[in-house]
Amino acid sequence: MERAVPHAVPLGQMEVFQALQRLHMTVFSQSVSPCGKFLAAGNNYGQIVIFSLSAALSSEAKEESKKPVVTFQAHDGPVYSMVSTDRQLVSAGDGEVKAWLWAEILKKGSKELWRRQPPYRTSLEVPEINALLLVPKENSLILAGGDCQLHTMDLETGAFTRALRGHTDYIHCLALRERSPEVLSGGEDGAVRLWDLRTAKEVQTIEVYKHEECSRPHNGRWIGCLATDSDWMVCGGGPALTLWHLRSSTPTTIFPMRAPQKHVTFYQDLILSAGQGPCVNQWQLSGELKAQVPSSSPGLLSLSLNQQPAAPECKVLTAAGNSCRVDVFTNLGYRAFSLSF
Amino acid sequence: MLAYKLTTEDFEHDEVIRKRLLIDGDGAGDDRRINLLVKSFIKWCSSGSQEEGYSQYQRMLSTLSQCEFSMGKTLLVYDMNLREMENYEKIYKEIECSIAGAHEKIAECKKQILQAKRIRKNRQEYDALAKVIQHHPDRHETLKELEALGKELEHLSHIKESVEDKLELRRKQFHVLLSTIHELQQTLENDEKLSEVEEAQETSLETDPKP
C-alpha cells in the first residue's frame, strides 16, 4: 500500500512516481454529493477526491475542470465503499468507517467528523468493509465485509445495534428492499440472504450456484453484485447475471454475459451492469442486450447514477474501475468524457 | 459649394469614395447631378440667347425632376426597410413562442416516455414470470392426473384387502385341518398304545398263572 508523495525526492523521480501511481490506481467506490453537483471517488491508495460535475458539464469546461477540486488522504488502506447522507460522506475501507461533512470537504478541510470500528469477534483480525448501505427509515448504516456479518450502526448515536450472522464467507455487496425493510446481502459463499431488519433474522436464502441454469462452476460461486427492485432481484458474479423473482425464488431471466459482473443496478426499464471488460452493458428485463457502451478503463468496478433532484443538469452515469479515470456518460449511448485523478 | 468641393477633394479623397460607396448606387449619380444642375443654372443665368436659355431651362427642369424621382425612390426604400424590420420583429416573436411551445411538448413527451418505459418494464416482468410458469405443467392436467392416481390407488388397495382376506381364510382352514390331523394322529397313537398295553397284559396273564 503506497502512501502519498515521499519527501526529498528529485523532481524527475517524483514525476515518475506519480505516473506509476496513476498507472496502478484502481477506483473502488463513488458517491454523489447531496446537492448533486459533486462526485467523490475513492481509490486503492486511500485517497478520496472530489470532482465538480457542474463545472465539467458546463459549456465552458476546460481540461482543468476534469481534474479533482479537492484531494485528501482518507484511509490507510483502500476505500472500498462510500455512501452519502444528506450532509455527510461516509467512507469505509480496511476495518474502519469514517464520516466527513460535505460542506467541510468542499472548503478543502479534511478533518473527519467521526470514525468507528464495528465490534469484531476477535481483536486480532481487522476485516475490510466491502459494502455500506443507508437505511433512511431507521437512519442507520449497514456495514458488511470480511467478517461475514452485517453490522447495523445508528447514525445519530453511533452505536452498533445488530450483528446479523449467517454468511459463511465474506460479504461483497448489499442492497435494500424498500417496501418491507429488508436487506439483501451477497457474498463469497454463493448465497444471497434476505434479512428482516425488524426481527434481525434471516428470512430467505437463495443459493445461486445450486441452480443449474445460472451456475458457472469454472468462475466460482461468489456473488459480486446485487440490485433489487422490490419484487425482483438481479445478481451476478461467478454465476451468470440473473434476474430473480424474490417471492418464488426462481431465476426468470439469464443475461448472456460471459464476464463476471461487478456492479449492477436497475434504471427505468433497463438493467445496467459492468464488470470485467471495458463496457457498460444495458439489458432489457427480457434478457436482450440493448447496448454495450465502451469506457476507458479495462475493467469496471463501480457505476453511479446521479439522480439527485437538486441538480437535474448533472444527471449523468459515471463509471470507474481499474484505471485512474472516471468516465462520464451524459446520454447512455456513448461516453462523453473522462474525469481523471 | 463648388469651392468647398475643390479644396476638400484633394485631402479627403478616400473619405468621399468611402461615403459614396456606402450610399446606394443611385446616390453617387445624384450627387453628380446636383453639381451639374448648379453649374448649368449658373451657366443659364449668364447665357445670352432666348432659345439656348429655354433649352437649358428645360434640361435643368428634367435634371430636377430626375433628382426628385430618385429622392422619392429612396424614401420608399426607407419605408420598406422600416416595414421589413417590423415584419422580422413579428416573425422573431412568433418563433420565440413556438420554441417555448416546443420546450413544453418536449417535457410532455419525456413524461410520456417515462410512463411508457414503466409500462414496458411491467410487461417484461410479466413475461419473465409467465415463462417460468409455462415450464410447470397445467394445473387442470395435474389435478386430473392426481385424481386418476387416487382412484388407482383405491382400487389397488381394495384388491389387496380382498387378497389378504382370502389368505386369512385359507390360513385358518389350514390351521383347522392341521389341528384335526394332529388330533387324529394323537388318538391313533393313543389307540395303538392302549392296544399294546392290552396285549402286554394278556401275555403276562398267560405266562403268569403257574401255581
Q: What is the 3-state secondary structure (H, E, C) of A83-146?
A: EECCCEEEEECCCCEEEEEHHHHHCCCCCCCEEECCCCCCCCCCCCEEEEEEECCCCEEEEEEC
pLDDT at A265: 92
Q: What is the chain A residue with the closest CA to B130?
A: A252
pLDDT at A120: 81
- Angle, alpha carbons A8-A77-A319 (nearest 5°): 105
Compare CB distances from A269 to B121, B129, B132 and report the shortest one's residue.
B121
More confident residue, B42 or B86: B86
Distance of residue B107 Cα from the nearest chain A Cα, in angstroms: 13
- Do residue B128 and residue B159 come from a single domain? no
pLDDT at B22: 73
End-of-domain residue from the set B90, B113, B135: B135
pLDDT at A38: 92
Distance of residue B134 Cα from the nearest chain A Cα, in angstroms: 11
- Do residue B67 and residue B117 come from a single domain? yes
Confidence band for B207, pLDDT divided at 50, 70 and 90? confident
pLDDT at A26: 93
- Angle, alpha carbons A135-A81-A100 (nearest 5°): 75
Residues of A in contact with B135 (CB under 8 A): none
- What are the C-alpha distances in Å from A65 to residues A27, A106, B15? 19, 15, 50
- Do residue B30 and residue B69 come from a single domain? yes
Q: DSSP secondary structure string, A253-308?
A: EE----SPEEEEEEETTEEEEEEBBSEEEEEETTS-EEEEEE-SSSBEEEEEE---
Residue B86 CA to residue B89 CA, distance in Å, equals 5
CB–CB contact A285 B128 (8 Å) = yes
User: What share of chain B has pLDDT > 70, as a percent?
Assistant: 89
- What are the C-alpha distances in Å from B145 to residues A294, B149, B152? 54, 6, 11
Compare CB distances from B125 to A248, A250, A285 and report the shortest one's residue.
A285
Q: What is the chain B residue with the closest CA to A254?
A: B128
Over range A108-134, report the average pLDDT: 84
Interface check for A252 against chain B (CB to CB < 8 A): the answer is yes
ipTM score for this prediction: 0.79
Residues of B in contact with A265 (CB under 8 A): none
- Do residue B83 and residue B164 come from a single domain? no
Confidence check: pLDDT of B3 > 70: no
Q: DSSP secondary structure string, B39-56?
A: HHHHHHHT---HHHHHHH
- Give residue B105's Cα distance to chain centre: 17
Interface check for A247 against chain B (CB to CB < 8 A): the answer is no
- Do residue B30 and residue B111 come from a single domain? yes
Query: What pTM was computed for the model?
Result: 0.71
Instruction: Provide the residue type at B102 as one letter.
Output: A
- Do residue B34 and residue B125 come from a single domain? yes
Residues of A in contact with B120 (CB under 8 A): 269
- Cβ–Cβ contacts within 10 Å for residue A154, how many? 14
Least-confidence region, from A81-95, A272-286, B46-60: B46-60
Report the first-to-last Cα separation within chain A, whole angstroms. 18
End-of-domain residue from the set B135, B155, B171: B135
- What are the C-alpha distances in Å from A209 to residues A172, A213, A220? 16, 9, 8
Confidence check: pLDDT of B173 > 90: yes
CB–CB contact A250 B132 (8 Å) = yes
CB–CB contact A285 B132 (8 Å) = no
Instruction: Provide the residue type at A227 as one letter.
Output: A
Residue B7 lies in a domain: no
Residues of B in contact with A272 (CB under 8 A): none
CB–CB contact B124 A285 (8 Å) = yes
Confidence check: pLDDT of B6 > 60: no
Interface check for A137 against chain B (CB to CB < 8 A): the answer is no
Residues of A in contact with B132 (CB under 8 A): 245, 248, 250, 252
Residue B204 lies in a domain: no
Q: What is the chain A residue with the closest CA to B121?
A: A269
- Do residue B94 and residue B176 come from a single domain? no
Confidence check: pLDDT of B47 > 80: no
Residue B179 lies in a domain: yes
- Do residue B98 and residue B55 come from a single domain? yes
pLDDT in tens, B51-109: 778 888 888 888 889 889 989 999 999 999 999 999 999 999 999 999 999 999 999 99
Grid cell digits, residue B55: 433649352
Residues 6+ apart with CB under 8 A from A131: A80, A81, A143, A144, A145, A171, A172, A173, A174, A185
Of the CA atoms within 13 Å of residue B147, those in its CB half-sphere come to: 5
Residue B115 lies in a domain: yes
Over range A72-78, report the average pLDDT: 90
Query: How many structural domains comprise chain B?
Result: 2
CB–CB contact A245 B129 (8 Å) = yes
Confidence band for A124, pLDDT divided at 50, 70 and 90? confident
pLDDT at A6: 58
pLDDT at A82: 93
Over range A160-186, report the average pLDDT: 89
- Do residue B175 and residue B107 come from a single domain? no
Residue B21 lies in a domain: no
Residues of A in contact with B136 (CB under 8 A): none
- Do residue B54 and residue B94 come from a single domain? yes
Confidence band for B18, pLDDT divided at 50, 70 and 90? confident
More confident residue, B27 or A35: A35
- Do residue B45 and residue B114 come from a single domain? yes
Q: Strands A140-145 and A317-321: what pairing? A: unpaired
Residue B179's domain comprises 146-197
Confidence check: pLDDT of B180 > 90: yes
Mapping DSSP to helix (H, G, I), strand (E, B) and coil, where does residue B134 land? Answer: helix
Q: What is the chain B residue with the closest CA to A266?
A: B121
Over range B38-46, report the average pLDDT: 84
- Do residue B45 and residue B111 come from a single domain? yes
Confidence band for B33, pLDDT divided at 50, 70 and 90? confident
Confidence band for B7, pLDDT divided at 50, 70 and 90? low
Residue B35 lies in a domain: yes
Least-confidence region, from A66-70, B135-139, B181-185: B135-139
Compare CB distances from B127 to A268, A269, A286 and report the shortest one's residue.
A286
Confidence check: pLDDT of B30 > 90: no
Confidence band for A117, pLDDT divided at 50, 70 and 90? confident
